[in-house]
Each structure stands twice: as structure tokens, then as C-alpha cells.
Amino acid sequence: MYRVRCAILNSVNATLRLETKVKMADFNQPTVIVTGASSGVGLYAAKALAKKGWHVVMACRNLEKSERAAKEVGMSPDHYTVMHLDLASLSSVRNFVQTFRDSGRPLTSLVCNAAVYLPLLKDPEYSEDGYEISVATNHLGHFLLCHLLLEDLRNSPAGDKRLIILGTVTANRKELGGKIPIPAPPDLGDMVGFEQGFKAPIAMIDGKQFKSGKAYKDSKLCNMLCTRELHRRYHESTGITFNSLYPGCVADTPLFRNHFAAFRTIFPWFQKNITGGYVSQDLAGERVAMVVADPEFKQSGYHWSWGNRQQQGREAFVQELSAEGSDDAKAKRLWELSERLVGIASMVST
Ligand code: NDP
Ligand code: PMR
């Protein structure tokens, strides 16, 4: 009986030792949170980061889909954890941060990647907090997430900590793809829509008439402005590297699932054969992973772009942003108004 009990205890201890060892090993991996890692750029960035030895917290709204996607791209279970995050819900963002903290993992980097693009919407849809859905998801959800996780990054023992946000050419008139006069270009105006509380019937940051494609581009401009403001406010005091990037035109991701079916056929062909702007999901993911992990991207406060001609081996360059995208006063005002909309007061004085 005694021998049996000892055998059981030994086996329990061995299991515990094994679990502790796995966990210790696990926690020695640098940890990155990637939002929207269930498809497209986020999924392939997760894959590339896992390949570099990172542990990826895949912050996604559909857990089963994300698990399936991780398996499909061949990620080893030791290199990822799927956690629930719905960026269109401010309470979900707060719950996610709590769940992440409960995991005990020190945070090395955060990648704000998730987005929706709803070009065919005639009338606005609103999030559960009452905000237009593209701006709520792409900008406000990420804004709150960054705000809360800044503390985790600040407290993390890692030597090289980064916060990276996906931007795009179509929200940057200084790049070729942003010069094309596709209606309508981004323009936050004087942000009267935000000033007035951004609740229905208001659906645009500038307070003007709803335009679905513009809502996406406005939200991406907010992403790039916020990266600059994060750098201005927090880089010196925290040492965290803050950058945005454009990985190329990844014309065949599910981002275009809400566009015309014909668009999904013609657009990748057009970008591959006419503009040369096309980049594969795999290569776009590797580019994001480079900005997260590679030493040459450790300089803070930049927008990295792979520009228009997307050959393998092409190097990124620091890309200037449009007049609106480099307007520091606008970035500061956007920050303050966004704080009000997500219900937080400034954590650290500027
Ligand atoms: P995908 O549609 O493939 O990926 C978007 C991801 O965001 C999905 O994982 C999606 O989850 C997730 N997501 C959407 N809404 C929410 C939400 N409410 N909460 C949590 N996650 C959400 O698009 P891409 O990979 O193309 O886009 C990724 C990023 O790259 C975006 O920021 C986009 O602006 C940027 N980008 C894309 C370019 C392109 O050409 N594709 C070019 C330049 C920048 P789910 O699977 O559940 O829908
Ligand atoms: Mg655009 C010249 C280069 C170039 C690049 C890099 C992009 C990127 N695009 C370019 C050119 C053109 N586009 C041209 C000449 C046209 C025809 C007028 C064109 C059209 C077009 C449309 C209709 N392009 C689009 C759309 C979209 O609906 C996409 C969009 O605006 O999403 C907001 C889009 C895009 N083009 C790009 C990129 C990266 C996109 C989509 C994703 C994004 O900007 O995040």
C-alpha cells in the first residue's frame, strides 16, 4: 500500500516538476501579444515570431478559429496561447488585460494588428459601447489596450520592449498608394465628432456624413498618429520602442471579405501585375516580426514602410507621413479625446 502511495506521489511530483519545467522554459521565451492573429497578417506574424522562438499570445475574438489557424500554419503549441479579445467592446479589452495578467507572463511586445474594413456599408453600425464599428475596433479598442498594457510593458524585466501598430499607405498621402484619389481620403478635420461624444447619429470623427471606406482610413490614420503620440509621451521615460509599419499590399487577406466578390478577384491581380504593390501574407507576417524583434528596428518613433515594389529581399525604409499624420498638435488632441471616449484619465503626465 505504502509503495503504491509512494509511486503515486512520485508520479505526481514528476508531473509537477515537468509542468514547472515546461512553464519555466515557456516563461523564458519573450512574450508578444498579437491582436487579430486568427487570419492574414496577424496570423503570419504570429507564425514568424513563433519561429523566432517567441511565445505568441493570440488575442482574438474567435477562439476556435484561432486554434485552427495556428495549427494550419504549423505553430507548435509551446509557442502560442489563444486568449479572448473583442476590440469592439471596451469591457472585453479590460477582461483580456486581466486574463493576460493572471497568466503571469511578463510582456515583451504588443502588436496592434486587428482591423475591420467594411467598404459596402451604407449606414453605420455601432459597437456595444455605441461607437461606429471600424473606429471602435481599429482605433478605440487598441487605444485602450495600449493604455492598459503600457504598465505591463513598463514593469516587464525584458531589456528590449516594443509596441507596434499596423498602419497603411491608403491613410498616408505621402506614399503612392495614398495619392490615388479613391474616394474618400482620410481626414479627421477638427474632430468635432469625437468632441461631441461620437455616439449615434454621429459616425465620423470629423462629424460629417458617414462614409464607410473613409471610416477605415480615418481609423488607420488614428493608429499612426497614436504611435507617434505614444513615442512622444512615453519613449524617453520607459525606453519602450514605439513604431508603426506598412508591410506592403497584402491584397488576398480576409480584410476584403466585405467587399464585392469581383473586387476580391481583381484586386490581388491588379496589385501583382499593375502596381507591383502586392506582398504575400507569409512575407508580410515576416516583416511585422522583423519590426517586433530585429535589432535594426529598435529605433523608436518611426513609420516603417516596404513601399510599393514588393520584391523578396527588399528592405524597409523610414517613411514620412502626410501633413495630418505628422501633426503633433492633432495627435495630442486625438489622444485626449480618445481617453474621454474609452473612459480613462491620463496615467502619466505628458
Ligand atoms: P484580416 O481580415 O485577415 O485580419 C484581421 C484580424 O482582425 C482578424 O484576425 C480578425 O478576426 C481580427 N478582428 C476583426 N475585428 C476584431 C475584433 N472586434 N476583435 C478582435 N479581433 C478582430 O486582415 P489583414 O490581415 O489584411 O489586416 C491586418 C492589419 O493589417 C490591419 O490592421 C490592416 O489595416 C493592416 N493592413 C493590411 C493591408 C492589406 O493589404 N491587407 C495593407 C496594410 C495594412 P476574425 O478572424 O475573428 O474576423
Ligand atoms: Mg489601392 C500604386 C500603388 C498602390 C498601392 C500600394 C495600393 C495599396 N493601391 C495602389 C494603387 C491603386 N489602388 C490604384 C491605381 C487604384 C485604382 C484607382 C487603386 C484602387 C484601390 C481600391 C478600390 N486600392 C484599394 C482599394 C480598396 O478598397 C483598398 C482600400 O482603400 O482599403 C482601404 C485599396 C488598397 N490599395 C492599397 C492597399 C494597401 C489597399 C487596402 C488596404 C489598406 O489600405 O489597408
CA 307–ligand 1 middle distance (angstroms): 20
User: Measured from the CB, is residue 217 less than 6 Å from ligand 2?
Assistant: yes
Closest CA to 249 of 291, 306, 185: 306
Q: Is the CB of 108 under 6 A from ligand 2?
A: no
Q: Which atom of ligand 1 is nearest to the CA of 38?
A: 9
∠76-82-83 over CA atoms, to 5°?
A: 160
Q: What is the mean pLDDT of residues 14-33?
A: 57
Ligand 1 binding pocket mutation candidate from 138, 216, 253 (most atoms within 8 A of CB): 253
128-132-133-134 Cα dihedral, nearest 10 degrees? -150
CB-ligand 1 contact for 95 (6 Å cutoff): no
For residue 169, report the distance from its CA to the centre of ligand 2, in Å: 8
Closest atom of ligand 2 relative to the 249 alpha carbon: 39
Ligand 2 and 275: CB distance under 6 A = yes
Going by the DSSP 8-state scheme, the letter that residue 103 receives in this structure is: T
Atom 44 of ligand 1, nearest CA residue: 168
pLDDT of residue 183: 77
Residue 337: all three cell numbers together: 479625446
Report which residue type is found at 286: E
Q: Is 71 left (phi over 0), alpha (psi -120 to 50) or beta?
A: alpha
Render pLDDT for 263-289 as a digit per residue (tens, 0 to 9): 999 999 999 999 888 999 999 999 999
Where does the pLDDT of residue 219 fall: very low under 50, low under 70, confident under 90, or very high at 90 and above?
Answer: very high
* Residues 238-249 pLDDT 10s: 999 999 999 999
Pick from 45-59, 168-182, 298-312: least confident? 298-312
3-state DSSP assignment of residue 318 = strand
Q: What is the pLDDT of residues 127-138, one digit of tens each?
A: 999 999 999 999
Protein residue with least CA distance to atom 39, ligand 2: 249
Q: What is the dihedral angle through the alpha carbons of 150, 155, 156, 162, rounded to the nearest 10 degrees?
A: 30
Predicted model pTM = 0.93
For ligand 1, atom 11: residue with the closest CA? 36
CA-wise closest residue to 140 among 335, 337, 342: 342
Q: Report the alpha-carbon distance of residue 13 to residue 271 in Å, rounded.
A: 58
Output the residue whose Cα is nearest ligand 1's atom 39: 250
Nearest ligand to the CA atom of 120:
2
How far, in Å, is the centroid of ligand 1 from the Cα of 112?
Answer: 10
Does any ligand 2 atom lie closer than 6 A to the CB of residue 319? no
Average of per-residue pLDDT across 326-337: 97
Confidence (pLDDT) at 13: 40
- Taking the C-alpha atoms of residue 259 and residue 45, their distance in angstroms, rounded to an integer, is 24
105 or 175: whose pLDDT is higher? 105
d(CA 246, CA 254): 17
d(CA 233, CA 301): 11
Give the pLDDT score at 26. 60
Closest CA to 334 of 212, 224, 186, 184: 224
> Quick check: CB of 86 below 6 Å from ligand 1?
yes
Residue nearest atom 6 in ligand 2 by C-alpha distance: 177
In the prediction, which pLDDT does 24 show? 43
